[in-house]
């Protein structure tokens, strides 16, 4: 009995015809560099082009599924880069899956885990493509394959990250006027704290007291700076502060959380379920940011949400500037969660000069809509892919 629980060489099979029809025939990966509408700054880098790895899975029935892995300026936000993601997909993960049934999601995730440690963005892109292909084959949405949606749309937050308070204020006012976004995340950490606080003061004065503002410090402050400057954030009625100190300094983050009345959003400090349990037990924050690049797959991200919620953490739908492909995968999982208290941050499709799909995700009345077509519900724009694909 013990062997049956751990041996994944012979997974339970669907009906023979369907299994044969949905066998994985090929997996391809392409690096894409898509230009953004403005500079997007973080504490340790800035981007004018967003890097993706587009993964295509072809089944024996001729159906192709698409998935996407996203990074920010190379291996700075996490250890993966578009170059390493493509290498992991083509050299280690794809060979482990070729000839396997696409519908064996859990067994395929285990195969990928045996083939490569971590490499979460690469694994998530493949699993997204498998769900897309399976959904197109069965005529079901990815949300249906993940258990069924409980919401069709959710509040969507916009990030202000140019560093120019005048430009950011006009940008935010335009989003409000067009009824696109009414909550804003301000990126800190690339200036001195005093300069960032002046930006925030200008934004609060210009937008008024009723507009929720979130501050993302991107690990940019020390504990001492948090002690000194968090009271100013409290005075400006900041709704949430994301990852103020280094992800390695869990004790410091817990002390910061204990000193402030602002909820702390845990992001880089916890990727795996075990890490989520640890930071929650240590009281490092009270909200957790869900991202495929941290979980390594849609099913695993749902498990991460369950662990976080079981430890009393509220849930926030995080992003890494995904196009409509990556955003659709996230939204498919987010739509099935029992709770998503802080909504979603998937504004990525709107920061691109041109999206990568023919049918971009819809934004309406301050919310983002979950695609309702089969699979992920989006279709790749081949012309834009050719224009933005990196030439090896």
Model confidence pLDDT, tens digit, residues 281-320: 999 999 999 999 999 999 999 999 999 999 999 999 999 9
For β-strands 363-364 and 367-369, DSSP reports them as antiparallel
Reading the block at residue 149, the tokens are 């949606």
Looking at residue 73, its pLDDT comes to: 74
Q: Would the pLDDT of 13 be above 50?
A: no
What value does the mean pLDDT take over residues 126-146?
98
- 345 catalytically annotated: yes
Residue 45, pLDDT score:
63
**Residue 374 has which token pair?**
């089969």
Q: For residue range 159-218, what is the model confidence (pLDDT) as tens digits?
A: 998 889 999 999 999 999 999 999 999 999 888 999 999 999 999 999 999 999 999 999
Q: Which residue has the higher pLDDT, 45 or 96?
A: 96
pLDDT, the chain, mean: 93
Residue 126 in this model has a pLDDT that exceeds 90: yes
Banded model confidence at residue 37, pLDDT cuts 50, 70, 90: confident
Kindly report the number of other CB atoms within 10 A of residue 75's CB atom.
14
Position 44 scores a pLDDT of: 59
Q: Tell me which H or E stretch contains 367.
A: strand 367-369
Burial of 97 (0-12, 13-18, 19+ CB in 10 A): buried
187 has catalytic annotation = yes
| Torsion 318-52-324-177 (CA) sign | positive
Catalytic residue among 68, 168, 345, 367: 345
Which residues, 6 or more positions from 41, have their beta carbon under 8 angstroms from its beta carbon?
Answer: 161, 162, 163, 187, 190
Structural domains in the chain? 2-139 (3.30.390.10), 145-380 (3.20.20.120)
Catalytic residue among 86, 187, 291, 294: 187
**Sheet of strand 24-41: strand arrangement:** 24-41, 46-59, 64-71
* pLDDT surpasses 90 at 280: yes
CB 184 within 8 A of CB 211: yes
Determine the Cα–Cα distance for residues 6 and 9; give it in Å rounded to an integer.
9
9 has a pLDDT exceeding 60: no
Residue 57, CA distances (Å) to 99, 112, 248, 294, 384 in order? 12, 15, 36, 22, 19
């Amino acid at each position: 009995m013990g062997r049956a629980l751990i041996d994944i060489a012979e997974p339970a099979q669907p009906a023979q015809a369907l299994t044969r029809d949905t066998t994985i025939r090929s997996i391809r990966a392409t690096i894409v560099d898509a230009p953004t509408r403005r500079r997007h700054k973080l504490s340790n880098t800035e981007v004018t082009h967003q890097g993706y790895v587009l993964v295509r899975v072809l089944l024996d029935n001729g159906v192709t599924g698409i998935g996407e892995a996203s990074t920010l300026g190379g291996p700075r936000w996490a250890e993966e880069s578009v170059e390493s993601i493509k290498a992991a997909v083509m050299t280690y993960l794809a060979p482990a899956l070729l000839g396997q049934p696409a519908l064996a999601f859990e067994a395929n995730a285990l195969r990928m885990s045996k083939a490569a440690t971590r490499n979460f963005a690469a694994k998530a892109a493949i699993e997204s493509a498998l769900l897309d292909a399976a959904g197109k084959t069965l005529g079901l949405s990815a949300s249906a394959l993940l258990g069924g949606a409980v919401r069709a749309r959710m509040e969507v937050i916009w990030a202000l990250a140019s560093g120019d308070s005048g430009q950011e204020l006009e940008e935010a006012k335009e989003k409000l006027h067009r009824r696109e976004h009414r909550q804003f995340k301000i990126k800190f950490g690339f200036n001195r704290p005093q300069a960032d606080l002046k930006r925030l003061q200008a934004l609060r004065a210009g937008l008024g007291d009723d507009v929720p503002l979130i501050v993302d410090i991107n690990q940019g402050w020390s504990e001492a700076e948090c002690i000194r400057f968090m009271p100013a954030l409290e005075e400006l009625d900041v709704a949430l502060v994301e990852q103020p100190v280094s992800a390695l300094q869990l004790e410091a983050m817990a002390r910061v959380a204990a000193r402030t009345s602002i909820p702390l959003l845990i992001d880089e400090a916890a990727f795996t379920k075990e890490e989520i349990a640890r930071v929650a037990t240590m009281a490092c924050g009270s909200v957790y940011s869900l991202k495929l690049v941290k979980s390594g797959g849609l099913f695993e991200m749902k498990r991460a949400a369950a662990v976080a919620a079981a430890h009393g953490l509220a849930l926030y739908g995080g992003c890494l500037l995904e196009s409509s492909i990556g955003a659709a995968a996230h939204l498919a999982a987010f739509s099935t969660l029992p709770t998503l208290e802080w909504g979603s941050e998937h504004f990525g499709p709107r920061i691109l000069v041109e999206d990568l799909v023919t049918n971009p995700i819809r934004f309406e009345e301050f919310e983002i809509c979950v695609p309702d077509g089969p699979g992920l519900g989006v279709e790749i724009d081949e012309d834009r892919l050719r224009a933005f694909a990196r030439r090896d």
